[in-house]
A and B are shown apart, each in its own frame.
Chain A
Amino acid sequence: MNTKVNICGVELKNPIMTASGTFGSGREYSELTDLNKIGAVVVKGVAAKPWQGNPPPRIAEVYGGMLNSVGLQNPGVDYFIENDIPFLRQYDTKIVVNVCGHSIDQYKAVVKKLRGRDVDLLELNISCPNVDEGGMAFGTDPVMVEKVVSEVKKEADKPLIVKLSPNVTDITATAKAAVRGGADALSLINTITGMKIDIHRRAPVLYRKIGGMSGPAVKPIALRMVYEVCKCVDVPVIGMGGISNGEDAIEFIMAGATAVAIGTANFVNPKATADTLKGIEEYMIENGIEDICQIRGIIE
């Protein structure tokens, strides 16, 4: 049975990745699940300088999911290079660095610092809904998407994945713009903007009022978007949004995703990555599938 997949020349031993921001750099989860069983760890967003993030409360639970407005708190690219790359390299998994910035120059600064570093892929975060500058502001306008991607691509010495925002009318427009800009692969979806109000306090639960929704409740939306994007681009697509088990992952692969990422499910079940892989393998055995690629994109 073959579960290996290839993303822009980088071979992942299986299609399981982690969704940025839900897994740190794997350190905390390494006590609870085997990082060697994960195809690639996508680390929490890394900026050129340390970012403080948003004031709390940053988390709200909603029906079948959650909202967050963390705002990309991170210790910066220098800290990442010194501490997190050596940590992750102890494990047999690929390293994907999620790159964030408030401006094109800031994205470029991170990517420049990562040149020649021992990481496998870059993921450009132009879709975070929880920052005022950069993030989703760049990722929802196709003209801007193409410009940011082409500028950042010039600095990158690793394949560049572009992470798309679902907060658009037509995701195929931003997907095509990213590919025109030079994206080597696409990942989707980032969180969907949402809100929760505490009726007793008569105030929004989140300090920032609006946050990003994730979890099983968003899965049908994510799956539809992955399906639409896979039909209109030729680059590999990494599917995510509410994936919690093998069945969910298979759906995304059938819709055309080359790999899948586990996000919020890590909070619900810290072993979600390993459990999802097990579910995929069981499905393959039960259905006599030799190679995971056989079922990729089989939905017309």
Chain B
Amino acid sequence: MKTIENAKIISKEFISENICDMVIECSHITREAKAGQFVELYPDNGINLLPRPISICGINKIQGTVRLVFQIVGKGTELFSRLREGDSIRVLGPCGNGYDIIDDVDGRALLVGGGIGIPPLLEACRQLNCTKIAVLGYRTGSFLADEFREAGAKVYITTDDGSLGFKGNVVDLLKAEDISADIIYSCGPRIMLKYLSAWAEEKNISCCVSMEERMACGIGACVGCVLPVKENDKIVYKKVCKDGPVFDSREVCW
């Protein structure tokens, strides 16, 4: 069940130049929230009308808060980044299907994130109850990596500029380190997900990818945010906001 709430900003800090880490109090949304889902934040400034989908990075059911780690990419996110502790914001959620967290202690889960696709994997990592490997790709530097370690994951870092960890992309690292797994949870730029998906298919590993598309309503009514998906030898448009954002990598038309 989705709800619209006026959420209070509990804390906000910048964890890099353009990445904002914000905890908001919204008890109804938090109660229903799953790893891999997102919330819609409304700019409410009369100019930027549409809500912005922001992935959930952390869920605290006791305190009734969700944590959102987002990058400033346009007017909406810029506006949210200026909110202060004690301010409030209109939020709709939880939206989307989220990750299917498989509770198989014998299995080995691989979490692969790129850039601002990394935050939703953190909550998935916390909830997974098995051997966990996180491969985190950044342009330069890193964020949230320590928290993946605290959540019990063995962490590999890649950077485009070589400033930290392996110089190159996440798939190159997977190959170089000869990493294997029983299931993959991933989120990141489409191009990264495409190559990861090809690697997973070659290795015959089931791979969940979290996709992005421009959205309007965020709840499946407007059919604006579609993704071409293979279904019974046909290509159909599925809604990223409602049927996704998480899809089986083998059904996505890359």
Contact = CB atoms under 8 A, between A and B. Distances in A.
B49 A64 contact: yes
Given A28-B242, A66-B216, A70-B224, A264 B1 contact: no
B49 A65 contact: yes
A226 B186 CA distance: 50
Interface stretch (B54-62, B127-135, B148-156, B225-233): B225-233
Contact of B222 (A21, A32, A55, A64): A21
A223 B42 CA distance: 26
A44 B48 CA distance: 24
B215 interface: yes
A59 interface: yes
A270 B4 contact: yes
A52 B2 CA distance: 27
B221 A24 contact: yes
Contacts of A216: 46, 49
A105 to B, nearest CB: 25
Given A267-B217, A268-B42, A58 B49 contact: no
Given A31-B1, A66-B49, A59 B216 contact: yes
A272 to B, nearest CB: 11
B70 to A, nearest CB: 17
A61 B49 contact: yes
A58 B239 CA distance: 12
A52 B215 CA distance: 18
B35 to A, nearest CB: 21
B254 interface: no
Contacts, number: 98
B47 interface: yes
B161 interface: no
A73 B236 CA distance: 10
Given A28-B219, A270-B4, A55 B225 contact: no
A73 B223 contact: yes
A58 B221 contact: no
Q: With a 10 A CB-CB cut-off, give which of B42, B48, B49, B228 has the most chain A CB atoms.
A: B49
A246 B226 CA distance: 32
SS class of chain B's interface: helix, strand, loop or mixed? loop
Contacts of A267: 49-51, 216-218, 222
Contact of A31 (B2, B48, B213): B2
A264 B42 CA distance: 14
Contacts of B237: 52-53, 56, 73
A107 interface: no
Q: With a 10 A CB-CB cut-off, give which of A24, A55, A271 has the most chain B CB atoms.
A: A24
B92 interface: yes
Interface in B180-224: 213-224
B219 A53 contact: no
A68 B1 contact: no
A122 B50 CA distance: 29
Contact of A66 (B1, B50, B220): B50
Q: With a 10 A CB-CB cut-off, give which of B214, B222, B223 has the most chain A CB atoms.
A: B222
B48 A59 contact: no
B226 A58 contact: yes
B253 to A, nearest CB: 10
A168 interface: no
B48 A61 contact: yes
Contacts of B214: 56-60, 205
Contacts of B220: 24, 28
Given A53-B226, A53-B237, A70-B224, A59 B49 contact: no
A32 B2 contact: yes
Interface string A245-269: 0000000000000000000101111
A23 B220 CA distance: 9
A193 interface: no
A135 interface: no
Contacts of B227: 56
Nearest to B235: A52
Nearest to B214: A59
Given A65-B49, A205-B214, 4 more contacts: A24-B223, A28-B242, A53-B237, A59-B225
Interface of A: 21-24, 28-29, 31-32, 44, 52-53, 55-61, 63-66, 68, 70, 73, 205, 215-216, 264, 266-271
10 contacts: A52-B237, A53-B223, A53-B237, A56-B214, A58-B224, A64-B49, A73-B226, A205-B214, A215-B49, A267-B222
Top 10 nearest A-B pairs (CB, nearest first) are A59-B224, A24-B221, A28-B221, A59-B214, A28-B219, A267-B217, A268-B49, A267-B216, A28-B220, A58-B224
